[in-house]
Amino acid sequence: MNTPIPVRPEPRRHSRIKPVILGLLLIVIIAGAVGYGVLYKSLPVTRGELPLTQLSQNVSVYRDKSGVPHIEAKNMRDLFIAQGFVTAQDRLFQMDLSRRQASGELSEVIGAKTIERDKFFRTLGLRRAAEASLDGYSEEAREILDWYAEGVNAYIKQSKDNGSLPIEFMLLGYEPKKWTSIDSLTIGKYMAFDLGGHWEGQAFRYYLLQNFTEEEALDLFPSYPEDGSKVLQALRETPLDLSDRFASAVVPNAFNGSNNWVVSGKKTESGKPYLADDPHLGLATPAIWYETHLNSPDFKVNGVIFAGIPGIILGKNEHIAWGVTNVGPDVQDLYIEKRNPNDKNEFEYNGNWEKAEVINEKITVKDQKPIDYKVTITRHGPVISEFAKDDSPETALSMKWTALQPSTELEAVLRFGKAQNWDEFKEALTYFHTPAQNFVFASTDGTIAYRANGLIPIRKNGDSTVPVPGWTDEYEWEGFIPWKELPTIVNPEEGFISTANNKIAGDTYPYHITNTWAQPYRQNRIREVLSAKDKLSVKDMQSLQFDHLDLQAKEFIPILKSHLKGQKMRPVDKKALQLLNEWDFQDDPDSGAPLLFHIWMLEAANVLFEEKIDTDMMDLFEGKAQIVDQLIRQADRGNPGPWIQKAGGLPKIMLTSFQRAVDKSIELQGKTPAKWEWGTYHAVPFNHPLSAVKPLNLLFNPGSTPMGGSRVTVGAAGWSSATGEVNHGASWRSVVDLADIAKSFNVVGPGQSGHVLSRWYDDQIDEWTTGKYHLTDVTPEAYRKESEKLTLKAK
């Protein structure tokens, strides 16, 4: 019998082949030895056979038309070894960059540009928290972590031996080190960071209180803090200049969140539940999500996972499906620490000086000497106010955060895959601690359910609005919201459950969750659509995930226009205003009205805050969009706050910001408003991490595509205010009909592969930008038909 020869797939054929060739030629000139042959050699082998001696039995990997690997193994050990190997084939550079960022090790391969970022993550200590978490896992989970690492390392070794590492490693001049269990857990901790906990908002409000009147400061608060006068007085008595200390801080995207919903079978055409999920995070090449199907006798699950972590975090098995959105609770508290002027490593607590822990971190920097960096950890957590500089002899800010404690999220993820009903899934949630998530659930038995799950602190005093005194025990945590009392809904009479980072608990709920929720527009639109029909179809679910109706514009356009009445406007202003008069409030890419409206809202905020709030502090302005909305609403109702008054009143603000928006639109797209288009400005490039280095963008970036939607539409598409580039949204959308649970309708933007020559590198851009899906069918007879088969050969 002839042994199949390992075969790399045909490289993608793309309309951008000329720019790619140009990019390759330029890279050859710059790097000296890179060419198409080297690039092609690093393409993953997807057909034939490859040796994987770590396996006990052969494993089959079928990659379907969308590049989704269906991994068939005869036991769980081989399954997770293969998952590590296959994921590394498609995403090794992304995996390595992810663990480096979370660990504070980017400077080792990037150089001096990332030193401050590394300091920040060394200070937080995500890797230290991952190390502390490992012992809390079951023996099976630790084995799975080890098996996954074995598979990753087998691919790393093969690639080194064959000279076929992804080209990014060659361009940066390094080789990846071995993968470990801690690397996987550290990436998990980074996702807890990326989904936030509101420390930046506390720092910003502290800055407001130190630099503005109390009335001005409180006007920008989401709510007045509990024990307000006492806490505010303490803040004023402990001055700490933050304006330059957090200039290099890494702040998660303010719009990180998601949509999800489940619909009962009594409201669906199939008679079984539907589940829809689309988590909103950064958009880049490759995608943050990796779609995978794992199939062994004891573990059958499919969906998506972060590259570098075993299992499936969002998806389904043969009995259930689940999805998440971010709860966004207050799980981070900043404490003002009083430092001993005679010993900078001692801090006051209840009248005594306590010694802080000091950790020596050596940061390796490419092309220069290593940096010795010290991290100070008080009883509350790491001192984060001095990661960039250490010149305050008396005060500091430390951070307490649930994610810095040992936690076992991966344990929960692995148990999700085995759960067969709501009770078993809910039991698995007892292991999921951080980040707190809104889980929606559906099962083939007809159950739909929801649960806000994770560790949410109970505080003695305060509500996490502002930093609190750390020199007394008055503001300590007193445990967490009891697990049995976390918000939960099962089979509601309404027939559906939805979340969109909205307020999830009413005023009668006895525990504090947060004061900062997402703007309500996505949730309101989801509820509007799900309530409108007695029977919903799968197509309705897909259309809703891509829905571009802008309820913010529907609310604010009448307000904004009413305050322009009677004011003197230029002829071009009147033509621009006509766009809004004729607008149906759809954020369509070929419409000019969304361009004008969204720039107008940005300019309204600029008129209110520019030259008043330090530029470096604006990145910490948590909930700015919600607060600006509220300032305008209140002023329109005849109750303008100090910021509106200081800017000259609402009519002046509206006219000034509108004319700025018109001028900006003219600068971008010419003097004829009828020719303006939202999608020309609001386009998605799916930037690669190395694309900032010209001309590598010509090689790695797929090319910009016009995109509809906005930050407030269900079809979310956040963008850079500076460039208009769409950089945030749902790179994964999924719809499941529990009547045929083997199938799901999915899209991963821009595609599955991280290899620039793979045809799965950017083949889902059209689907992603137009609201289409591919069908993933995990029935073996279905996916084996037209797939590329790779056999991983055991020893």
DSSP result, 572-593? HHHHHHHHHHT--SB--TT-SH
Burial class (CB in 10 A: 0-12, 13-18, 19+), 369: exposed
Contact 524, 547 (CB under 8 A): no
Say if residue 225's pLDDT is above 70. no
**Secondary structure letter of residue 475 according to DSSP:** G
Establish how many alpha carbons lie within 13 A of residue 501's alpha carbon, considering only the half-sphere containing its beta carbon. 27
Average confidence (pLDDT) over 520-537:
97
* Nearest alpha-carbon partner for 308 in 116, 517, 542, 86: 86
- Give the residue numbers annotated as catalytic, written as ranges: 258
What amino acid occupies position 795? K
Contact 757, 40 (CB under 8 A): yes
State residue 26's pLDDT score: 60
In the chain, where the domains are located = 257-330+406-464+473-545, 551-585+592-676
Average confidence (pLDDT) over 615-644:
94
pLDDT digits (tens, 9 = 90+) for 353-398: 999 999 999 999 999 999 999 999 999 999 998 765 556 678 899 9
The count of other CB atoms within 10 Å of the CB of residue 125 is 23
Say if residue 604's pLDDT is above 60. yes
Residue stretches of the annotated binding site for Ca(2+): 330, 333
Say if residue 21's pLDDT is above 60. no
Question: 257-330+406-464+473-545: what CATH class?
Answer: alpha beta
Which two tokens mark 215? 């009335």
Residue in the structure block whose two tokens are 């991952």: 130
SS (H, E, C) 190-203: HHHHHCCCCHHHHH
Say if residue 15's pLDDT is above 50. no
* Nearest alpha-carbon partner for 83 in 290, 289, 287, 319: 290
Higher pLDDT, 186 or 235: 186
d(CA 332, CA 401): 4
Average confidence (pLDDT) over 475-498:
97
488-490 β-sheet, strand order: 48-51, 788-793, 59-63, 69-72, 289-296, 299-306, 314-316, 320-326, 437-443, 448-453, 488-490
Strand, helix or coil at 670?
Answer: coil
**What is the model's pTM?**
0.94
d(CA 46, CA 63): 7
Contact 98, 188 (CB under 8 A): no
Which two tokens mark 474? 């008055």
What amino acid occupies position 175? E
Mean pLDDT for the chain overall? 93
Q: Where are the beta strands (DSSP E) in 183-298?
A: 257-263, 274-282, 289-296
Residue in the structure block whose two tokens are 């050859």: 28
- Helix 139-162, helix 181-194: angle, nearest 10: 100
Element (H, E) at 113: none
Contact 187, 98 (CB under 8 A): yes
Element (H, E) at 250: none
Average confidence (pLDDT) over 605-631:
93
Which two tokens mark 280? 């909103």
| Omega cis (within 30) before 222 | no
State residue 795's pLDDT score: 82
Which two tokens mark 323? 């999805």
Distance of CA 707 to CAs 634, 668, 673, Å?
Answer: 33, 16, 19
State residue 681's pLDDT score: 98
d(CA 241, CA 221): 19
Contact 327, 438 (CB under 8 A): yes
pLDDT digits (tens, 9 = 90+) for 207-218: 898 889 989 999
Q: Name every residue whose Cβ is closer than 8 Å to that of residue 702 and which is 6 or more positions away in sequence.
A: 16, 285, 685, 686, 750, 761, 762, 765
Say if residue 14's pLDDT is above 60. no
Banded model confidence at residue 1, pLDDT cuts 50, 70, 90: very low
Which two tokens mark 748? 């991963």
Q: Which of 5-9, 570-574, 643-647 has the lowest mean pLDDT?
A: 5-9
**Torsion angle in degrees (nearest 10) through CA of 215, 216, 219, 225:** -60
